[in-house]
Amino acid sequence: MAQDTGGVKDAGRWITAAKPDYTALIDEKQIVTQRYGMVNVPTAVWIDERGRIVRPNEVAFIDDRFKSFTKMESAPYIEAIRDWVQNGSKSAFVLSESELKARLKPQSDSRARADVEFALGEYLYKSAKGADAIPHFKEAQRLDPDNWNYKRQAWALADADRDYGTNFRKEVEKLNGRPYYDSH
């Protein structure tokens, strides 16, 4: 699910290069980010044959190319996926209902408002009102400050330094060693 306001123009060449044998979709409005309350990429959700969530949002690397930055190993996660494919609901990595309910939280009011500010920004951007979109993207970022999707997408649509007074590298430096990915 490409979380890309630019749609095929931005995501298309990556999908073409990957030659996927799985279904690769393009999500221009970041609907998946919004409905599942995601804050970063890559994020994965495990969904069983009945359409029920069995592992909610978590970081999902399929190789170690970003390991120096993320400090995360991909191998245990890939093994967990294989275990689920093989053992289904008996897999130790499938969470129980009580574990799931402990992890899944109702959307906060500020996240709800951030989603709608971001969506309005996206609408204005697509209506050739890119400059008018910026205040709404900024408000979305202020309301949901840990949401990297809403930061990085907005910066990518503008001149981040000029329009937002920052950029991805500067914001990562500000973390000062705190993890870029929430690793529950």
Partner 1 sequence: MCKHFLVLMIVLTSGGFAAGQRTRTIVYDGIATEVSVSAAAANDLWITTSDLMRATRFAIKPQGICRDELCFPLPKNRKAEFLARKDATNWFNLTEFARLIKQPYVVDQKNAVWYFGSPAAEQNRYLASLEAPNFTLPDLNGKLHSLSDFRGKKVLLVTWASW
Residue 142 engages partner 1 in binding (rule: CB under 8 A): no
Residue 44 engages partner 1 in binding (rule: CB under 8 A): yes
* C-alpha dist (Å) from residue 76 to 41, 73, 80, 182: 18, 7, 6, 16
d(CA 164, CA 175): 18
Q: Which residues contact 74 (CB under 8 A, 6 or more apart)?
A: 61, 62, 63, 64, 67
d(CA 140, CA 162): 18
Least distance in Å: CB of 181 to partner 1? 13
The encoded tokens of residue 147 equal 């949401």
Least distance in Å: CB of 132 to partner 1? 6
Residue 49 engages partner 1 in binding (rule: CB under 8 A): yes
d(CA 116, CA 26): 20
Least distance in Å: CB of 175 to partner 1? 18
Cβ distance to partner 1 smaller for residue 19 or 177: 19
Cβ distance to partner 1 smaller for residue 44 or 164: 44
Residue 97 engages partner 1 in binding (rule: CB under 8 A): yes
Residue 23 engages partner 1 in binding (rule: CB under 8 A): yes
d(CA 103, CA 36): 12
In the complex, which residues of this chain contact partner 1 (CB under 8 A)? 1-4, 6, 8, 10-12, 14-16, 23-27, 29, 31-36, 38, 41-53, 60, 81, 84-85, 88, 97, 100-101, 104-107, 109, 112-113, 115-117, 119-120, 123-124, 127, 129, 132, 136, 139, 149, 152-153, 155-156
